[in-house]
Structure 1
Amino acid sequence: MIKAVLFDLDGTLLNRDATVASFVAGQYERLRPSLGHIPKALYMERFIDLDQRGYVWKDKVYRQLIQEFEIERVTMESLLEDYLAHFRFYCVPFEGLETILESLKAQGLKLGIISNGKHQFQMGNIDALGIAHHMNAILISESEHLRKPDSEIFYKALGRLGVDAAESVFVGDHPVNDIEAAQAIGMFGVWKPSSIQDEASFANAQIVKLDELNRIIETLNA
């Protein structure tokens, strides 16, 4: 019997591709006096490429941008400060996010998030999506001193929810950090791919839209 559903954040609940594109466009406009010598489309394209879907921290991204584009009127620290201060205002949820969370809670399921990243930054994004009140547990790697795919962060989440691995579903977009790691401790892994370059054919199930989770839970609890 499934008693809990846990989620990754970026690429699973948060549409990070859309969010990043919107943020970078906004940053360019805010700092146009310092960045205006760079074509906007090129600045956006290079940021997104260097960002590597969030797996490269932004100090490195901005250092590289400053070097490549010979940016002289704004520092890496100022660009990073702008990122930390404004990113949350551009957060885009995946379609049906609020509806699926309400549906799962109505079924009596406990909900949680396990996300790698900086605590304050990721909590700001969760608050921006307006979903914190739905969650029975939120674990961010920085504050837990653990990172996915370490099994301990999954066990810690299950402990806080008071459920066993076999009673839980984990939904994520990363084949190793999310799906393989969750399955390794006995959770049911649902893959929500965010890139055609990903491959997680070993997942227990795959979804395109969040509302497909209802069908999976219904099948598992039949």
Structure 2
Amino acid sequence: MQEFNIVALTWQELLQDYINEFKNYCVAFPNLISLLEQLKTDNYLLAIITNGYGHFQMDNMKALAIEKYFDVILVSEWEHMKKPDPQLFMRALDKLQVSPHNSIFLGDHPANDVKGAQAVGMKGIWKKDAQWDHMEADAILNDLSELPSIIDYFNSKQ
């Protein structure tokens, strides 16, 4: 806090402000809503697995207006485990009543998302992110609008 010359607030107050206000500033990846609408129209079951605090993550999902698209939502705080724990991925699959080999996981974190999903037998798809240069994944996409064609490709290989 000295770096920013903040003297009137404690770090606890700043943290609480972040927790309370972040939802007002979170921004979805481009094409997120159209992708979710298409996937639901195509009758795919959808789950979200997110690391973080329960109410904080739910506030963000509500702010983005995406929670209604998901059949299952697992938040690490409430599940008492974090990605890449295989049990967390298996819990989502069990709740959806689907097998790992018929499932994909799309995420932007190489280890927590892609490798975590692959460890249980799911296809791991990486949403390219500026934080990492290269990632080994079953598929890599730059934009969410690319996902339906990737799903079609995987379906054609079965």
* TM-score bracket, shorter-length normalisation: over 0.9
Aligned in 2, Cα 1:79/1:196: closer, same or farther, shift over 3 Å?
Answer: closer
**Root-mean-square deviation (CA), in Å?**
1.2
Q: Using the alignment, how far apart are the partners of 1:96 and 1:166 within structure 2?
A: 26
Q: Is the 8 A contact 1:175 1:198 kept in 2?
A: no
CA displacement, residues 185-206 of structure 1 (integer Å, 9 cap, x when unaligned): 11011111212534312x0000
Tell me the residue number matched to 1:207. 141
1:120 aligns with 2:55: yes
Q: Is the 8 A contact 1:192 1:207 kept in 2?
A: yes
Tell me the residue number matched to 1:184. 119
Kindly provide the amino acid, as one letter, of the partner of residue 146 in structure 1. Answer: M
Within-5 A mapping of 1:35-184: 66-184=1-119
CA displacement, residues 160-204 of structure 1 (integer Å, 9 cap, x when unaligned): 111000010000111111111111111011111212534312x00
Aligned in 2, Cα 1:198/1:176: closer, same or farther, shift over 3 Å?
Answer: farther
Which of structures 1 and 2 has the larger relative contact order (alpha carbons within 8 angstroms, sep 6+)?
A: 1
Q: Percent identity?
A: 45
In structure 1, stretches of 5+ residues that fail to align are: 1-65
Tell me the residue number matched to 1:57. none
Q: Using the alignment, how far apart are the partners of 2:54 and 2:19 within structure 1?
A: 12
Instruction: Give the secondary-structure state (helix, strand or coil) at the position aligned to 1:189.
Output: strand
Q: Using the alignment, how far apart are the partners of 2:152 and 2:145 within structure 1?
A: 12
CA displacement, residues 140-169 of structure 1 (integer Å, 9 cap, x when unaligned): 000000101110000000011110000100
Give the TM-score normalised by the residue count of structure 1: 0.68
Kindly provide the amino acid, as one letter, of the partner of residue 176 in structure 1. Answer: A
Aligned length: 156
Kindly provide the amino acid, as one letter, of the partner of residue 143 in structure 2. Answer: K
In structure 2, stretches of 5+ residues that fail to align are: none
